[in-house]
């Protein structure tokens, strides 16, 4: 795998998803298709023919797979099969706005989803995308997005729970793999990797983001996990 190619094509896909989000709104699944299909196609490209990947915009059906789960049924973002048996799922989250307000809910949901999937012997991996400067919008009636009230700057405290989870022991609530990217977007909606050195982040967190959490390393680990689970 080419590290630069992985990074560039990932940015192209997330840019397309971000533009679809701005055009069609948060409730439309059109915003998911570019980035979910990117994960599916990238994994397909780097695995053997015995593996297949299912997601929105990818595979024969171009839709998501529903797994029974240990506690409740769950529609999976990206599912990897070996000889038609689901072995790994890739959960993807892109926090486009109001991150600090919702961060604890995101995290609690992640822990529950991880346990639900891992307990049926399907590996659970998660990739989180944050905006270095995240807009905060006031909510209007009907849960509609209102006017922008400010900008939230991602800092060390915002990421600390994910760092702790990454370093935690291997319990069912811990994802098999965890990845993260912090991005900036220009006025045209084009994404770029944020300059972490200019953010209020600790040295160890920056090192994790540049290495163990990085998108190329995440894909590399998924390929290795495919071989381990098959």
Tens digit of pLDDT for each residue in 11-22?
999 999 999 999
- Return the residue matching tokens 């049924």: 73
CA distance 94 to 112: 18
Summary count for the chain: helices (H), strands (E):
6, 10
CA distance 13 to 19: 10
pLDDT category, 207, cuts 50, 70, 90?
Answer: very high
Number of domains, the chain: 1
**Would the pLDDT of 230 be above 90?**
no
Average pLDDT of span 169-177? 96
What is the residue range of 50's domain? Answer: 3-229
Give the burial class of 203: count Cβ atoms within 10 A of its Cβ; 0-12 exposed, 13-18 middle, 19 or more buried. Answer: exposed
Q: Please give the pLDDT value at position 140.
A: 65
CA distance 40 to 56: 9
Pick the closest to residue 156 from 203, 215, 214, 216 (CA basis).
203
**Would the pLDDT of 144 be above 70?**
no
Average pLDDT of span 207-215? 97
Residues 6 or more apart in contact with residue 71 via CB below 8 angstroms: 115, 116, 119
CA distance 174 to 107: 11
pLDDT digits (tens, 9 = 90+) for 90-119: 999 999 988 988 899 999 999 999 999 999
**Of 11-20, 140-149, 156-165, which range is least confident?**
140-149
- pTM (predicted TM-score): 0.94
The alpha carbon of residue 199 and the mean position of all alpha carbons in its chain are separated, in whole angstroms, by 21
**Would the pLDDT of 143 be above 60?**
no
Q: Please give the pLDDT value at position 141.
A: 64
């Amino acid at each position: 795998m080419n590290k630069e190619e992985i990074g560039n094509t990932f940015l192209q896909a997330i840019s397309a998803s971000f533009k679809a989000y701005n055009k069609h709104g948060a409730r439309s699944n059109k915003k998911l298709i570019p980035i979910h299909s990117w994960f599916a196609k990238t994994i397909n490209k780097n695995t053997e023919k015995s593996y297949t990947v299912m997601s929105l915009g990818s595979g024969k059906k171009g839709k998501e797979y529903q797994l029974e789960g240990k506690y409740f049924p769950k529609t999976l973002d990206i599912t990897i099969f070996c000889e038609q048996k689901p072995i790994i799922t890739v959960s993807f989250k892109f926090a486009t706005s109001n991150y600090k307000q919702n961060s604890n809910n995101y995290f609690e949901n992640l822990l529950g989803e991880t346990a639900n999937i891992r307990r049926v012997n399907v590996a659970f991996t998660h990739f989180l995308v944050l905006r270095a400067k995240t807009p905060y919008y006031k909510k209007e009636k009907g849960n509609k997005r209102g006017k922008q009230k400010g900008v939230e700057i991602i800092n060390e405290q915002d990421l600390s729970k994910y760092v702790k989870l990454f370093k935690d022991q291997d319990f069912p609530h811990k994802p098999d793999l965890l990845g993260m990217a912090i991005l900036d977007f220009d006025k045209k909606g084009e994404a770029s990797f944020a300059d972490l050195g200019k953010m209020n982040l600790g040295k160890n967190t920056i090192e994790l983001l540049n290495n163990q959490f990085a998108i190329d390393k995440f894909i590399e680990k998924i390929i290795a996990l495919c071989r381990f689970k098959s």
